[in-house]
Amino acid sequence: MSILGFLIPLALLMGLAGLGAFFWAMRSGQFEDLDGAANRILIDEEDEDR
């Protein structure tokens, strides 16, 4: 059972990391323009020096 002493903190840490990542994503505006992100992949990149 001593493995629990390792696994439970690990599970909690990973959960907290996920939560932290979500908070960061919201704060930095990752969800501001969901439709735009889907469309941008289709834009042909034209290099300026061409």
Which residue among 6, 28, 46, 50 contacts another protein (CB under 8 A)? 46
Least separation in angstroms between residue 48's CB and another protein is 6
2 binds another protein per the rule CB under 8 A: no
Least separation in angstroms between residue 39's CB and another protein is 4
Which residue among 6, 28, 34, 50 contacts another protein (CB under 8 A)? 34
Residue with tokens 């919201």: 26
Buried b / exposed e over 5-16, threshold 16 CB at 10 Å, is eeeeeeeeeeee
CA-CA distance, 14 to 27, in Å (whole number)? 20
